Amino acid sequence: MLYKINRRTIITWFLLILILLLVAGCAQKVDNQNKKTDTTVSENSEKSVDNTSNTNNKQESKEASKEVEKTIETFEPLKFVNTPLPFDLEPHRTITPLGNEIRNAGPSRIGTFYGDGFRFQIIGFQNNVTTIKFANIGSETITLTDESIKYIVYSNGGENISGTKLTGAPISIEPNQTKDLQVSFTDPRTVYLRFNIKDTITEIRIRSSLQDKPISDVTPLVSDRSNMTDGGITPEGKEGPVPVTYASLEIVGNGYTKFQVLGIQYTGNDTIGKLSKPEKGMLALAKVRLANTSNEEISINQVVIRSISGKGITVEETLSKEDMQKALGDKGLPTSIKPQSIVEGFVPFVFNDSLEVTMIGIETNKGSMAIRHLDSFPPLQ
């Protein structure tokens, strides 16, 4: 009897265990399916997040690109022209007789000379002939002779040996009449052209002398006091006299650098970098040749551009070396000059009025240098 009870009990327990195992197996299968579903949902969710993130990143990238485009400055390309400004017959204040206390470099090569009752402008120079446009804006006839407009170069005895000749002289110009004039010379040493009209006397260095040549060596040069101007920065970093040039191909220096202006390039630009053309003026370029005569690298820090009238400064702009590089690119004067090397390039300036002093100051880590009366310099050939 006990045997039978034990056998039945064992069978019962066996069936119970089997049922429990089956139930547990089903539960595990359901759990696995749930986990798989959760994993799929998670993966899909992550993919959705990734897609959203990528979309956002692309949108942010596009917006960033637009912002970068906004910050990139675009400048007007350089437009070289071969002629100065048009002859100006509009009302304008006149230069005082016997010169001007501000402007002492003679007539401009870019704009009109405003005399008392007359106007003239140098419109060309080729070989030994200067062409001048002349207007009588007064009420009386003006008669021009060989003494009115002449080249000058003097012998040791004080005689003018230039061989100057005003074509067609004497020339009578009636009120409200304009004529083109030509004056020539024969002596190759001739440099200056003088005007003596109605008690107004002025002269201009019409061309470089035969001795003037482009810089070709790195021998140090310290200019004498006659080629210095006050108010600059010395190589020692103090305020004091610095080299200044008033004529093309003239070489000046401070012991670390020496430089010269090769000539002027007229432009038809309304803007050059951050510079804007005055209403009746011009933006132009000075071709500067510079030698680093030291054993240290010279860095151009900035360029200061001014136009000064008898009443004060009318134009003042400062260009950093970054401004120079952006505006002129590889056409600009290099802003870093290696030791014992020679470089050249353009420096921009603003011509505002022919009765003003047009000037540039170039500031380096070894002092500053100046160029004055730029509009009187001859154009590049």
Give the pLDDT confidence of 148-182 residue by residue, as tens digits: 999 999 999 999 999 999 999 999 999 999 999 99
Residue 28: per-residue pLDDT: 56
Amino acid at 239: E
Q: What is the pLDDT of residues 359-377, one digit of tens each?
A: 999 999 999 999 999 999 9
d(CA 310, CA 376): 18
281 close to 209: Cβ distance less than 8 angstroms: no
What does the DSSP assignment read for 148-190? TEEEE-B-TTS-B-S--EETT-SEEE-TT-EEEEEEE---TT-
d(CA 338, CA 298): 7
Residue 95: per-residue pLDDT: 78
The DSSP H or E segment spanning 65 is helix 2-71
- Taking 70 as the threshold, does the pLDDT of residue 49 lie above it? no
Neighbours of 191 (CB within 10 A): 21
Tokens read off for 13: 């327990």
Domain positions in the chain are 82-205, 225-376
**pLDDT band with cut points at 50, 70 and 90 for residue 184:** very high
Span 82-205 CATH architecture: Sandwich (2.60)
The model carries a pTM of: 0.79
On the question of a common fold for 82-205 and 225-376, the answer reads: yes
CATH of 225-376, one of 1.20.120, 3.40.50, 2.60.40, 2.30.30: 2.60.40
Tokens read off for 36: 């798989």
d(CA 282, CA 68): 32
d(CA 106, CA 246): 11
Q: What is the pLDDT of residues 332-348, one digit of tens each?
A: 999 999 999 999 999 99
CA-CA-CA-CA torsion sign (279, 352, 254, 341):
positive
254 close to 236: Cβ distance less than 8 angstroms: no
Rg of the chain over Cα atoms, rounded to whole angstroms, equals 40
Residue 4: per-residue pLDDT: 45
- Taking 70 as the threshold, does the pLDDT of residue 270 lie above it? yes
Pairing of strands 336-337, 113-114: unpaired
**Residues sharing a CB contact under 8 Å with residue 81, sequence separation 6 or more, in sequence order:** 266, 267, 268
Pairing of strands 271-272, 257-267: unpaired
Average pLDDT over residues 37-65: 50
d(CA 325, CA 329): 5
Q: What is the pLDDT of residues 227-261, one digit of tens each?
A: 999 999 999 999 999 999 999 999 999 999 999 99
249 close to 340: Cβ distance less than 8 angstroms: no
Tokens read off for 101: 């206390």
